[in-house]
Amino acid sequence: MEARHFSIILAVAVVTAALRLLPFLLFDRKGRSIPPWLFYLSRVLPSAIIGLLVIYSLKSVNLFQPPHGLPELAGVAAAALMHKWKRNTLLSVFSATTCYMILIRLF
């Protein structure tokens, strides 16, 4: 049992490490500078990926079954509004999570 778990952990760790290290190995040596299109991507991607991560973290929400994603919607709205209002990340995250945790117990 332990060997099987260990081999899965090893596989996950090696692939994760490879994904993180590869770009540095490919583009970091002297004389091999980053092509302009890739540099452009690296400037605009951060903002785009955040949009993806929001969706990624909500991907398992089922809109067709009660409560139709309402706790998630309320939590996202709470985070966004709170952040527009106070611009304090910790406060926004805390109030949104609290809001969500209360709602999933009510529905």
Partner 1 sequence: MRLRALKAAFPKTLPVMAGYLFLAVGFGVLLRKSGLGAAWALLMSTGIYAGAMQYVTIDLFLSGAAPLESALMTLMVNARHLFYSISMSEKYRNTGWMKPYLALALTDETYALLAADEVPEGVDSRWYYFFVSLLNHGYWVIGSVLGSQLGQMLPFDLAGIEFAMTALFVVIFVEHWQKKAARIPALVGFVASVLCLILFGPGGFTLLAMPAICGVLLLLRGRLALGQ
Residues that bind partner 1 (CB under 8 A): 5, 7-17, 19-24, 27-28, 34, 37-60, 71-72, 75-76, 78-80, 83-84, 89-90, 92-94, 96-97, 100-101, 104-105
Shortest separation between residue 98's beta carbon and partner 1, angstroms: 9
Shortest separation between residue 2's beta carbon and partner 1, angstroms: 9
Helix (H, G, I), strand (E, B) or coil at 65: coil
Confirm if 99 and 81 have CB atoms less than 8 A apart: no
| Pick 12 or 68: Cβ nearer partner 1 | 12
CA distance to 1, 12, 30, 32, 62, per residue, from 49 (Å): 37, 22, 28, 26, 22
Shortest separation between residue 31's beta carbon and partner 1, angstroms: 13
φ, ψ at 12 (rounded to 5°): -65, -45
